[in-house]
Amino acid sequence: MDLRDRKVALAAAVDDLLRVVPYAHAFAQVREGTAFRATTRATAIEPLDPVCGVVLSAWNGETMLEVSVPSLDDDAVKGATARLRDLITRQGSRTGPAIDPGAPLERDFAVAEHIPVSSLSLEERLARVQAIKDRVHALDARVKNAVARATHVRTQEIFVGPTRRLFQDLRRAEMVCLVVMEQGGHAADLHGGRGRQGGAEHLTLADDDVAHLVEDCARMLGAERAPGGSYRCVFDGDVAGLLAHEAFGHGTEADMFVKRRAKGAGYLGKQVGSELVDMYDDPSLPGEAASYFFDHEGHLAAPTRIIERGVLLAPLTDLVSATYLGMARTANGRRESVQRKAYTRMSNTFFGKGGDRHDALVASLDDGLLVRHARNGMEDPKGWGIQCEAYLAEEIKGGKRTGRVFSPVIITGYVPDLLTSIDGVSDAVEIGGLGMCGKGYKEWVKVTDGGPSLRLTARIA
């Protein structure tokens, strides 16, 4: 299906709704993909859950009213339009802020595949994951299970509003590897991989990346937990990204401001970190897995500078939160699917680079930890508490790695305390491509995060 064929029908629906409301738009989406998985004991080819449908939205002056249907044919769109008009009649109009529909624009966007996924047979794609699984087993006899999983996803989206007709064709590919090892009654697991926009050129992992994954997993076997306390640390770019996502991700999503669930609302224009701290959210980054050309409410992708020299500058917004709060729109109105509400959501969220070298930051630690391999995290936007988990930390004494490893590593604390303690930032930004983010344990969307290496003080639980 070429979703562009539905522009005329969606424009007719929007024109019909604009006869009874001051603002309306339509958003249509088709998403499909396949996963290829090889484990120590089995292989599988699995189609991903498809998405197909349209959602119609109408602003009655106070509330965004919506109707969605899991179809794109003319009758379904006309039926949805009639149901939404009926809902508008029952809800009535309100006196409230006006929505700016944006400057007139009609444009199509597309992500290029340097090696089209369709150029590889199913057997060839499955062979790629089997090769990685076999490589893991060949590197270390202690590997008890190896899992390699490749996915490719194509998403077509159309936004039609009073002034805009936009289409985007997004393509994403990723390869993930999980290593499970056992020895002497101890077990450890570690995953890694890559995800990027594009095609089959990204359905691979470098030999060195697989080897380092196995080596680090082996080091975790029998590793003890770090004694609780405050440590001087260097976070690598992967863990720095997790900190960025959890510290000022949900906490600067403006729909949380509207609900009075984000402490950051009271700190706009105020110092929340050291002067070395810059933070961005940028869905326009070329090639990143969470990038897009426009959000699900028709706003063109552009970078947002969340923090500049430690000062909280601006939140991320969606259409409704920006309208309620009188704030600038950012391209962060996103839906899990056409059957879900649009919320303010992150895209590619990361710390800006500094002027130090990673090795110099590590060498500067007299007694501390190099924290690597982010695992997961959570935050409390209302209280600004945070918890991040990393797979491992290496002990540093006198600026040298001692060979001692701790695993797992739980980092806790108050967000401004962590950010204010940052006194070293490396000169290279690393952005991971495997992230997914939920909002309240649901509403999952693709995100990435990253950053340079950070030197800071962190509390280890």
Q: What is the pLDDT of residues 293-342, one digit of tens each?
A: 999 999 999 999 999 999 999 999 999 999 999 999 999 999 999 999 99
State mean pLDDT over 108-131.
97
Confidence at 34, pLDDT banded by 50, 70, 90? very high
Which pLDDT does position 115 carry in this prediction? 98
Which pLDDT does position 439 carry in this prediction? 86
State mean pLDDT over 74-87.
97
Helix (H) or strand (E) holding 441: none
Q: Considering the chain, what is the average pLDDT of its residues?
A: 96
Is 388 in contact with 236 (CB distance < 8 Å)?
no
DSSP 183-206: ETTEEEEEEEEEEEESSGGGS---
Which pLDDT does position 442 carry in this prediction? 86
Share of the chain above pLDDT 90, in %: 92
| Antiparallel, parallel or unpaired: β 304-308 and 343-344 | unpaired
Which pLDDT does position 262 carry in this prediction? 87
State mean pLDDT over 62-74.
97
Share of the chain above pLDDT 70, in %: 100
User: Above 80 in pLDDT, residue 142?
Assistant: yes
Confidence at 114, pLDDT banded by 50, 70, 90? very high
Q: Which residues of 367-404 are buried (b: 16+ CB within 10 A; e: fewer)?
A: ebbbbbbbbebebbbeebebebbbbbbbbbeeeeeeee
Which pLDDT does position 260 carry in this prediction? 87
Rounded CA gap, 179 and 233, in Å? Answer: 26
Which pLDDT does position 383 carry in this prediction? 86
State mean pLDDT over 223-233.
96
User: Above 80 in pLDDT, residue 214?
Assistant: yes
Confidence at 196, pLDDT banded by 50, 70, 90? very high
Rounded CA gap, 334 and 443, in Å? Answer: 9
Which pLDDT does position 187 carry in this prediction? 97
Which pLDDT does position 261 carry in this prediction? 86
Rounded CA gap, 70 and 55, in Å? Answer: 9
Cα 349 off chain centre by: 7
> What pTM was estimated for this model as a whole?
0.96
| Antiparallel, parallel or unpaired: β 164-183 and 105-110 | parallel
Is 274 in contact with 419 (CB distance < 8 Å)?
yes
Which pLDDT does position 250 carry in this prediction? 77
Q: What is the pLDDT of residues 151-184, one digit of tens each?
A: 999 999 999 999 999 999 999 999 999 999 999 9
* Domains of the chain, first to last: 3-35+43-102 (3.30.2290.10), 110-159+167-220 (3.30.2290.10), 229-460 (no CATH)
Which pLDDT does position 263 carry in this prediction? 87
State mean pLDDT over 110-135.
98
Please tell me what DSSP assigns to residue 79. H
